[in-house]
């Protein structure tokens, strides 16, 4: 950027705009959806709406999450994926009602994850994929309610046993990390009950990074098909198919599955 030039000007989020973005979910929760709005800074006005159950600030241009995020004491669901965040505030540990945290596809390093994450004793799903983590934060091993952990597409050379031995863990995604051996990424799943999940999404719902990866996988599949000697079969899927944990599930279906006792 040239000297003196200003960064991109994001959309102005007023309290009135934010209120109009509150939706009631299928299961009766209040969800504040400010995703894909070109927001460059965390809108302080939403700190007056701390009674919401879910907050979606994904697919914006946000670089910093303020300490005041902890005012959302009722928050159960926080989605910050696909921004430019390099550090989470220590106060996030005070959000003890959180069940779901998605900070994938940001600029987080291991040092940018505060130890206070270990205070999120009720959290069930954490997605740290598509970041710059060179080691797994030991704090994750203290979160005994974790069902799903996303660590894919980072810089990890190993995953501590404390993660794979979490008592309620059902899904651990460690794909596309520079493990010493090709099979290393699979060995962490040995003690975990595998889930056969397949997410069907439209291309418009994928972030740029995910879309490129899915297109590469699709190109590879097409190449294999072209080399096959068997007669061609009718295509099974009419839209893009991605097993990546970053893929957009049906939000209503996820809520019912993830927040049920």
Q: What is the pLDDT of residues 158-191, one digit of tens each?
A: 998 899 889 999 999 999 999 986 445 455 554 4
pLDDT, mean over the chain: 81
Q: What is the pLDDT of residue 212?
A: 74
Q: How many angstroms separate the CA atoms of 157 and 177, rounded?
A: 7
Closest CA to 32 of 41, 45, 19, 43: 19
- What are the residue boundaries of the structural domains of the chain, listed by start? 15-197+250-259, 198-242
Higher pLDDT: 257 or 141? It is: 141
pLDDT of residue 70: 97
Q: What residues have CB less than 8 Å from 183, skipping those under 6 apart?
A: none
- Could you tell me the pTM of the whole model? 0.72
Multiple choice CATH, 15-197+250-259, 4.10.520.10, 3.30.930.10, 3.80.10.10, 2.40.160.10: 3.80.10.10
Per-residue confidence (pLDDT) for residue 186, from 0 to 100 = 53
Q: pLDDT tens digits for 56-89?
A: 999 999 999 999 999 999 999 999 999 999 999 9
The torsion region of residue 79 among left (phi > 0), alpha (psi -120 to 50) and beta comes to beta
Sort 146 into a burial class: Cβ within 10 Å, 0-12 / 13-18 / 19+: buried
């Amino acid at each position: 950027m040239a000297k003196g030039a200003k960064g991109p000007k994001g959309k102005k989020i007023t309290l009135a705009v934010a209120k109009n973005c509150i939706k009631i979910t299928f299961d009766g929760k209040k969800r504040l959806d400010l995703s894909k709005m070109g927001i460059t800074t965390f809108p302080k006005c939403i700190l007056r709406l701390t009674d919401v159950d879910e907050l979606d600030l994904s697919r914006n241009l946000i670089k910093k999450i303020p300490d005041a995020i902890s005012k959302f004491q009722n928050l159960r669901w926080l989605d910050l994926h696909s921004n430019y965040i390099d550090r989470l505030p220590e106060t996030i540990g005070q959000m003890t009602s959180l069940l779901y945290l998605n900070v994938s596809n940001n600029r987080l390093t291991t040092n940018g994850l505060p130890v206070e994450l270990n205070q999120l004793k009720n959290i069930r799903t954490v997605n740290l994929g598509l970041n710059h983590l060179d080691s797994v934060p030991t704090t994750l091993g203290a979160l005994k309610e974790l069902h799903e952990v996303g660590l894919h597409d980072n810089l990890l050379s190993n995953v501590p046993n404390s993660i794979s031995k979490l008592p309620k863990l059902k899904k651990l995604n460690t794909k596309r990390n520079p493990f010493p051996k090709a099979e290393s990424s699979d060995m962490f799943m040995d003690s975990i009950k595998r889930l056969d999940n397949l997410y069907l999404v439209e291309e418009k719902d994928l972030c740029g990074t995910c879309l490129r990866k899915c297109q590469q996988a699709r190109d590879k599949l097409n190449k294999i098909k072209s080399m096959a000697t068997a007669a061609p079969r009718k295509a099974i899927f009419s839209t893009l198919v991605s097993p990546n944990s970053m893929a957009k599930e049906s939000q209503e279906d996820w809520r019912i599955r993830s927040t049920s006792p």
